[in-house]
Structure 1
């Protein structure tokens, strides 16, 4: 008898049969169900832990999940403690409900100040004595001496006290008339003793008045003129003065 025949005989031997215990089938099925329930519980617990760690809210194990709607285009935000700053910040709430803090903005205010200046006074005169300067400024030069006057404050040259009404100061207008001291000349070289022809050659734009003076209105916005007092065709006095008739009673304003 070979090996296969021996195995066949043993398998068919009635003495090897093991009778089944009553209720064995039901016990096996119940055990299989318990194993399946334990596996389901373990898988559900692991899933819940993973969802909680990821920030998702679970309403009930084995129930429905409540998941928030998140816009993937928005950056994540981390809560921070409130801070106080002098810089103005702006917040915006785009679609999706997340609040985004915009960069600080600096507001620059520009204030424009308009300064209104009074009428410019000409920087012309005899040395430091200028047309338009106040009486206080005139006295501060130390070149003049006050003398009794009339409607205007009158001064003589300290170095030439015989020159009557050498400098006159009108109220609210300052110095309005400057008479050149004896021996002084204009910038064109005209002084006392010059002929009328010489004056006209140096100042061709002038005009001879009926009173015998030759007046030259200076160009520009300075508002002043030369007055050459002429007698017998020669210059006897030279004045720098305003074109208006200020202090007329203190000498002819021609």
Structure 2
């Protein structure tokens, strides 16, 4: 017996027949419904999760969906920024340049604070007269003043053009800063001013240090001081009115 004959014999054997249940149709239909309901539930659940994640509210899984109202005042907007292709040129705001100007003020030469009382070397004719201590006197190359309080000391103050005061004779009662005055002896004079010299008879010259070239000239008679002058070193009229 070949294989085909054996298979035919088996298929015709009554013992292999399957007897169907009387309610087989209802059982199959019920099973299909259960499968359909499971699938619907799974799909609904997945849809609900997706909608909740997207910001939508689900009111009922079995029926209609309710979308939340949109408030125009808070409606989110998305701004898309597209980078320009190629090089980007950035224009900087113009800067403000602040220039600092340094101004150097150069003062003119200061007048030397050297003189007798308020009358100083370098003072003009008007400034000397304004002190109220002098009276105009007949002049020559230099403008001359006498002490108002000691008119006997003639040509006491001489003012040279362009130089101001160039000579001051101390009043008869005037003294130097070291106390030498009219009546001081030559010995006292040499003690106070050891740097002085007698370049000519009757005159004892003492050059003074400072920012202005000047000297004391002490006039001597009988070994005593009889006159004291404060005198600029460079002045054409420093000996105006003097007897030589």
Report the TM-score, using the length of structure 1 for normalisation: 0.61
**Shift in CA distance, 242/139, structure 1 to aligned 2, threshold 3 Å:** same
Rounded Cα–Cα distance in structure 1 between residues aligned with 2:102 and 2:91: 36
Mapped to 2, the partners of 1:246 and 1:189 lie a distance apart of 29
Q: How does 1:51-62 map to 2 (within 5 A)?
A: 53-55=78-80
Aligned to 2:195: 205
1:216 to 199, 206, 209: 206
Q: Based on CA coordinates, which of the two structures has the bigger radius of gyration?
A: 2
**Matching of residues 57-76 of structure 1 within 5 Å:** 68-69=83-84
Matches within 5 A, 1:157-236: 157-236=147-226
| Matches of 1:140 and 1:209, distance apart in 2 | 36
**Paired residue for 1:125?**
115
Return the offset for 1:244: 2.0
Q: Which sections of structure 2, spanning at least 5 residues, go unmatched?
A: 1-19, 27-76
Whole-angstrom CA distance in 2 between matches of 1:151 and 1:171: 8
Distance 1:152 1:100, change over 3 A: same
Query: Is residue 2 from structure 1 mapped to residue 21 from structure 2 by the alignment?
Result: yes
Q: Partners in 2 of 1:6 and 1:224 — Cα distance?
A: 150
Alpha-carbon distance, 1:110 to partner: 2.2
Do the aligned residues in 2 keep the contact of 1:121 with 1:222 (CA within 8 Å)?
no
Alignment check: 8 A CA contact 1:245 1:253 kept: no
Tell me if structure 2 keeps the 8 A contact 1:176–1:246. Answer: no
CA RMSD for the aligned pairs? 3.0
Q: Deviations over 1:151-171 (max 9, x none)?
A: 000110001111110000000
What is the CA distance between 1:101 and its match in structure 2?
Answer: 4.2
Question: Offset of 1:252 from its aligned partner?
Answer: 4.7
Shift of 1:121: 2.3
Query: Structure 1 residues 249, 237: CA separation in 2 closer, same or farther (over 3 Å shift)?
Result: closer
Match of 2:88 among 91, 97, 100: 97
Query: Aligned in 2, Cα 1:186/1:105: closer, same or farther, shift over 3 Å?
Result: same
Equivalent-residue separation in structure 1 for 2:180 and 2:239 (angstroms): 27
Distance 2:177 2:163 in 1: 25
1-side partners of 2:118 and 2:238: how far apart? 24
Where do 5+ consecutive residues of structure 1 fail to align?
8-51, 57-66, 71-94
2:100 to 101, 104, 110: 110
- Write out aligned runs for 1:230-249 (5 A): 230-248=220-238
- 1:138 is paired with a residue whose SS is helix
